[in-house]
Structure formats: C-alpha cells, structure tokens
Chains A and B, each alone.
Chain A
C-alpha cells in the first residue's frame, strides 16, 4: 500500500506541470491578448487610445513576448516566489482575487456534492433492491430529468418562477442583507434560501449518474454467489447490503469522485453565470474572455491540481477499498 501511494505521489508533480503547459497554451490560443480586449472595451466607453498607448500597455503587461516566454516567466515566478502574477482586469495579485472566492467555491462545491451523494446513494440502493417497482421508476425518471435538462435554462426558469411567486428572484448566493452586513446567524436564512436553486439545478445533474451507478453495481453484486452463501449462512439482509454489496458497489462511485469534482468545477460554470454565484467559475470565464492570462491560468491550474489530487486520493481510496487493485499494479 505504501509503495503504491508513494509511486502515485511521485507522478503527481510532472502531471501537474504538463497540465499547466496545456492550460497556458489553450488560454492564449484565441487571437488577441488582454490589451486588445481591454482597449476595445474602454474604447467602447469613449476612451481614446493611440497606438502608442497600446504599445505601452503591451510592454507594461509583458505581452509583447511569445507565449512560451510568458509561460516560463510565470512558472519561474510561481516556483521561486510563490507569486502567481497579476490579474490585468482586477489589477491585483492573482492570488488575492482567487482567495476572495476560493473558500466559497469549495464550500458550495462540497455542499452540493454532499447533497448529491447523501440523496443518491440511498436512492440507488433502494432502486436496486426494489427493481422495477414504482419507486424505482419514479426515481429513475427524476434522475434522468435532472441530467437531461440543460442547466442554464432550468436555472433561469426557476429564477423567474421564484420572482413570479415570491417577488424575489433569488439571484446570487447572498441576499442583499448578507452582502451589506456579512453572514451571521440572523440572515443565514437568506443564504439557505439562495442555495435552493443552485442545489436543484446543479445537484440534480449529479445525482442521476450516482444513482444509476450505485443501482447497477448493486444489482450486479446482489446476484453474486457470495450473497447467496451469506444468506444461507443466516447473515442479515442489512449486513449483506451495507457491508458487502455496498462496498463493492462503491468501486465506480469512488473512482468517479475525481471526475465528479472536475465536472462540478467546469460544469457549474454556466449555471453559476446564470445564477450569479460568486464562485470561481464565472471569474474564470470572464478571465478567458478577456484573455487575463495569469488569472485564468492560475484558476485552471488550481482546478487541475485539485482534480489530480482528487484522482490520487480516489485511487488510494480505491486501492484500500479493493485490494485486488493493489496487487494488480505489479507489472505483468
């Protein structure tokens, strides 16, 4: 086990490095750069730029060099000083922009993920044990609906419904009271109210996959020989279901954890834009549109890092869960 973990951790660094290169390349791929997008936005507001001004800006931001130089500079700064560069649009260190939103992003992602798992695993088990029952059918349909509805449309429909019914469209994660006074006990209700739509929109998309997976795996397990044997030996149904079958069934769920995290990050960006959630997704999208390279690069790096970390953790968890994998890792 230790060997396995060690080897995986060792692979961590080059993976992240490769990821950073890929990410940086993609960001600067669209034509133009931050200065061009900045100049055009400000010009639209009536500002006047001469080509001198533009050249000065380019120089100031260091954008007059080819992308691999910029990447090298950026990487060097990260490794030697821990300085992730400056965001051109916010004119603040990238890290401060990210730290503004990172806690909330992590919190919301965890809340939604926990919600999904808490809801879907029991449903999956129930569906498996009562296959083809009405309940199974109902939950299946709801799950499919969740994944089949384009989130952005669902979000705006719910916001409008909320406005029509209650007069408050529940935009964003915080009510205006919370924005003014900060989050405290008395206005916690506002926060919870505003969580409803995000959970419904983003969470339901997740639950479907988990339900189906758990259900399918459980079905596979329940027909195995050892279950029959256990039953014959008088082990209670409860123990069979939770101690034996579920453990095996968790295999794909756990390996899907990393993917779930990654998809939550990128998949929720669009919903986050529509619902005005103050998480990293919309910031990333704006940064990409404006070609704010260091900000976009750092956010993507962070996300990628978390995903790779998640994969690592899930592989370790998987290895712990299923000893076969540990042994299988040895060369053929």
Chain B
C-alpha cells in the first residue's frame, strides 16, 4: 500500500522532507535574485569565452597603425535619412598641425555594412578545428571597433573576448587544486589532531607567510623561455595554488575540530567506518556551504591575482592576452585621460568578480536549507 502511495501526487510537505539536500539547495538558491542573475551573467561570459574566436571580429595580432587608439566606432542605421541596416563609417585620422594631436573622424563617404557570419581571420576552435567564420564583421578596409582600439590598432573588443578565455579558465584550475588540497589536508589536520595537527599547522604558517610577490618573481624568472606564455602562466598558477590552500585548510581544520565531537561521528567510528570515509562522507557535507562559498570566492581572488601579476610584468605577455594584460596596458595616465575606453576591461573584471561573489552568497544562503 505504501508503495502505491508513492505514485500519487505528493503534497508539498512531503516534498520538502523527502527532497534531497541538493534539490533543496537549488530551490533556495533560486530565491536569491542576485545570485540567479549572476549565474546567467557568468553563463553568458563563459559561453562567449568558449566561442570567443567566433564571436570576436578580429584577432590578437591585427596591428593597424591607421586606427591606433581610435575611439569606439558608432554603429549607424540611417545614412542621410535612408535606412540601410547597421553599418559603420570609415575612420579618418588627422594630425592637428598645431598641437600634433591625433583626431579621428568619421569618413561619411565610406560605408561598411556589418555582415553576419563573415569570413575573417583564421583560428582554431578549441585548438582542434580550423575555421575562419566570424559572427559579424565588415569588409576589408573598414573596421568595427565596438570598444575602440588599443595603442597598436587592435580591436579591444576582440582582445577582451579572447582574453576572457584565459582569465576565466586558468584561475579555475588553480582554485580547484587549492580547494582539494585544502580540504584534504585541513581535514586530516583537524580530524586527527595531536602531533599531526601541530606539524601541519606549523607548515601552514610557514607557507602562508611566504609572500606572493617574491614567489611570483622567482617562479617567473626561473621558468625557461621557450615555454609558450599561456602555459607558463598555467604553471605559475598551479605552483601558487599549491601554496594558497592554507587559508581554506585552517578553516576546515577549525570546523573539523568542532564537529568531530559530534555523536554521529562517534557512531560512525564505532561502526568501523574508515577514517577517510568519515571525513569525506560525514564531516565534509556538514560544512559544505562554507566550502562551496570559498570555492566561488577563491576564483575571483585568482582573477585579481592574475591582474596583479600582469601589473608586475610577470605572467602573461602580449600578444597572448588576458584581462590582466589589458588592465596593465591601461595603467597609464595617458590611457585614463585620453583613451578612457581602455578601462572597459576593468568593468569586465568587476562584473565577473561580482557575479562570483553573488553566486557564492546565494550558495551560502542556500546551503543551509533547513533554516
């Protein structure tokens, strides 16, 4: 009889009590509006990064002296009153004879229609398939600069999208490594206590006092030159993450210490469950919320760390691009004063970091669904 009852529609209360932890978390998460929005935002960002080569009209080495530091091109629909669909004008550059400053103006005689699914520069999708299809573009001779051009005439919009491929993925690797290490080591430290705990704690102290900047400098200088820049950055990130698990480990340890006295742990021990299983299956889910939160908060930390590394001239270097590289290029009075569009990647970084933070927030709120 009971078995049949299951087929009937459950009432809301039963649903609540029978639902798994994850379902409940999901539901509570959906209530946090900002977190939901952020999830969408990140989704879009990662999607764009995945198809970056396709979406970006240009590539990383499209130097063009005729549009150096050009401001964003305006997209027009009407030309002299007539509707002809989205297009851009040609870009003229003149040098003011007195002040010698460059002035860009639109050349109304040249019209470049925006074409969809055009053929542009070649690229390898996901490093595997060759293609030259781009979402949009203009004919030869024209330039569509949605976010203006940088100091060598490259399209900033393209660079930003292609840069996001690095900035959004490499920090992930680092964070996951720190995460795993932090849980395991912190868990061991907190669970076993005693000498192991003390030893690990001291190691943590030493590691966490190792300052990041000298480490970056030392690593950057020691890695041989023939390794491609992005891979070098990956190595540095991995090495650094082997050191940055300490923060999480300390917290995990603290939680473990408080939790291991709980009855259910005692019960598990008596039942003969192995220590490892106790840690992973029983203790860890207890503060999963904190872990997930720290995961999502760790990524923005690494993104900012990458920008700091670029500021110091370590890490990624042009023509390989990341947001850090773009920010470092904007780190000039001249940029801020005369070419403010170069600061747009700053907003991309802020947006991403905000998104991760809100998601982490939402997860934290959602992680204790029984409240």
Q: Spell out A's residues near B (CB within 8 Å).
A: 7, 11, 14-15, 18-19, 22-23, 26-27, 29-31, 137, 140-141, 144-145, 147-150, 152-153, 156-157, 160, 212, 216, 220, 223, 251-252, 255, 259, 262, 265-266, 269-270, 284-285, 288-289, 296, 300, 303-304, 307-308, 311, 324-325, 328-332
B209 at interface (Cβ–Cβ under 8 A)? yes
Nearest-neighbour CB distance to chain A for B300, whole angstroms, equals 6
Name the CB-closest residue of A to B364.
A216
B258 at interface (Cβ–Cβ under 8 A)? yes
The 8 closest A-B pairs by CB, nearest first: A148-B353, A30-B221, A331-B194, A29-B218, A304-B209, A266-B211, A150-B307, A307-B209
Neighbour of B354 across the interface among A7, A148, A160, A212, CB < 8 A: A148
Max count, chain B CB within 10 A of own CB: residue among A14, A144, A251, A304: A144
B350 at interface (Cβ–Cβ under 8 A)? yes
Assembled-state Cα–Cα distance A19/B211 (Å): 11
**A-side contacts of B217, CB under 8 Å:** 30, 288-289
Can you list, as one digit per residue, whether each of B242-258 has a CB less than 8 Å from chain A (1) or not (0)?
00000100110010011
**A-side contacts of B222, CB under 8 Å:** 29-31
Let me know if A262 and B257 touch, CB within 8 A: no
B4 at interface (Cβ–Cβ under 8 A)? no
Nearest-neighbour CB distance to chain B for A23, whole angstroms, equals 7
Neighbour of B205 across the interface among A147, A251, A311, CB < 8 A: A311
Neighbour of B308 across the interface among A27, A137, A152, A329, CB < 8 A: A152
Let me know if A15 and B353 touch, CB within 8 A: no
Tell me whether A150 and B214 are in contact in the complex, defined as CB-CB below 8 angstroms, given that A29-B221, A216-B364, A255-B254 are known contacts. Answer: no
Q: Chain B interface mostly helix, strand, loop or mixed?
A: helix
A sample of 5 cross-chain residue pairs with beta-carbon separation below 8 angstroms, ordered by A number, consists of: A11-B198, A148-B304, A149-B346, A150-B349, A255-B250
Can you list, as one digit per residue, whether each of B332-344 has a CB less than 8 Å from chain A (1) or not (0)?
1100110000010
Let me know if B336 and A157 touch, CB within 8 A: yes
Assembled-state Cα–Cα distance A255/B250 (Å): 9
Let me know if A148 and B213 touch, CB within 8 A: no
B103 at interface (Cβ–Cβ under 8 A)? no
**A-side contacts of B213, CB under 8 Å:** 266, 269-270, 284-285, 288
Assembled-state Cα–Cα distance A144/B35 (Å): 13
Known A-B contacts: A15-B206, A304-B209. Give 5 more (CB < 8 A): A148-B353, A149-B349, A157-B343, A270-B311, A284-B211
Tell me whether A150 and B346 are in contact in the complex, defined as CB-CB below 8 angstroms, given that A31-B221, A288-B214 are known contacts. Answer: yes
Assembled-state Cα–Cα distance A7/B193 (Å): 14
Let me know if A262 and B354 touch, CB within 8 A: no
**B-side contacts of A141, CB under 8 Å:** 354
B327 at interface (Cβ–Cβ under 8 A)? yes
Nearest-neighbour CB distance to chain B for A124, whole angstroms, equals 13
Assembled-state Cα–Cα distance A308/B368 (Å): 34
Let me know if A160 and B211 touch, CB within 8 A: no
Assembled-state Cα–Cα distance A160/B343 (Å): 14
**B-side contacts of A27, CB under 8 Å:** 214, 218
